[in-house]
Amino acid sequence: MLEIMKKAMLAGIGALTLSEQKARAIIDELVEQGKISSEEGEKLVKELMEKAEASKKEIEAKIGEQAREWADKIGYVKRAEFEALEKRVADLEARLASITPDSGDGG
């Protein structure tokens, strides 16, 4: 499950990178044709990158939310919770072992 989420996130990031390259190519072409100035082109690239970053964060948040839903659905227990339970059990076992049974008449 983690591998699937990782691949989905990397695919999203890859798409954003590809989009940046394409956007830069298109903007560079517009600058070369004189349709926009170099400054306008840089401003546009910056805007696009900010929007792409916001989209990336949104995608990451949605993937994280989905992962938490899947974890809840399958009953996933966090390592820290598991370790805390292990410690409690070990403590209880130690307490039980320290209790000596009454040596009465056996019955």
Q: Are 45 and 24 in contact (CB under 8 A)?
A: yes
Query: Per-domain residue ranges for the chain?
Result: 2-98
What pLDDT sits at residue 6?
60
Q: Is the pLDDT of residue 65 over 50?
A: yes
Instruction: Give the pLDDT mean for 45-68.
Output: 84
What pLDDT sits at residue 107?
47
pLDDT digits (tens, 9 = 90+) for 71-106: 888 888 889 999 999 999 999 999 999 986 754 555
More confident residue, 106 or 48: 48
Read off φ and ψ for residue 10, nearest 5 degrees.
-65, -35
Q: What is the rounded (10 degree) CA torsion for 37, 43, 44, 46?
A: 150
Q: Is the pLDDT of residue 2 over 60?
A: no
Cβ burial 63-101 (10 Å sphere, 16+ → b, else e): beeeeeeeeeeeeeeeeeeeeeeeeeeeeeeeeeeeeee
pTM given for the model: 0.48
pLDDT digits (tens, 9 = 90+) for 3-37: 665 666 666 666 666 577 777 887 888 888 888 88
Q: Which of 17, 24, 5, 22 is nearest to 55 (CA)?
A: 17
